[in-house]
């Protein structure tokens, strides 16, 4: 274990995998000038004091994309260390309820199929989210649920 890890800033992030009725997932591209600029990600943001993860996800999506979502089941929690930051990503599958997504806090947004996710460059921590989604779908298909 790296002894410097405990001195890194730690952010707890609520992350949304937002599905629409066409079985597409909403992703957004980070602004070029910020940290990990230009990479694609699943939308979400930092947990505020006194907030639940579900409240955080709903608030962040309203602020960043101007849409309303229903926060669904927990998909995965990921602890990841970047060189200058520790993050805990708590990921929930969500459903788009209403509104047209607007790129308020990002450069671009897209609805994509699960298979298309691998065509986009994501931050390292997000790769595990894609793997968890693929595994969940594969398990559903094998058990006859899809």
Q: Is 118 annotated as a binding residue?
A: no
Residue 126, annotated as binding a ligand: yes
**In terms of C-beta density within 10 A (0-12 exposed, 13-18 middle, 19 or more buried), how is residue 137 classed?**
middle
30 is in an annotated binding site: yes
| Residue 48 marked ligand-binding | no
93 carries a ligand binding annotation: no
Q: Is 144 exposed, middle or buried (0-12, 13-18, 19+ CB in 10 A)?
A: exposed
Residues whose CB is less than 8 angstroms from the CB of residue 40 and which lie 6 or more positions away in sequence, other chains included: 27, 28, 29, 30, 120, 121, 122, 126
As annotated, the binding site for 8-oxo-dGTP includes 30, 41-44, 126
As annotated, the binding site for Mg(2+) includes 44, 64
As annotated, the binding site includes 30, 41-44, 64, 126
């Amino acid at each position: 274990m790296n002894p410097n890890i405990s001195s890194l800033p730690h952010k707890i992030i609520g992350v949304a995998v937002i599905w629409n009725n066409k079985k597409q997932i909403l992703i957004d591209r980070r602004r070029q000038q910020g940290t990990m600029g230009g990479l694609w990600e699943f939308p979400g943001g930092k947990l505020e004091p006194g907030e639940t993860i579900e409240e955080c996800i709903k608030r962040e999506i309203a602020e960043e994309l101007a849409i309303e979502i229903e926060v669904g089941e927990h998909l995965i929690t990921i602890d990841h260390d970047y060189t200058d930051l520790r993050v805990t990503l708590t990921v929930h599958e969500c459903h788009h309820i209403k509104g047209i997504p607007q790129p308020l806090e990002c450069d671009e947004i897209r609805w994509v199929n699960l298979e298309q996710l691998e065509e986009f460059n994501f931050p390292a921590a997000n790769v595990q989210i894609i793997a968890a989604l693929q595994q969940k779908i594969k398990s559903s298909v094998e058990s006859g649920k899809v």
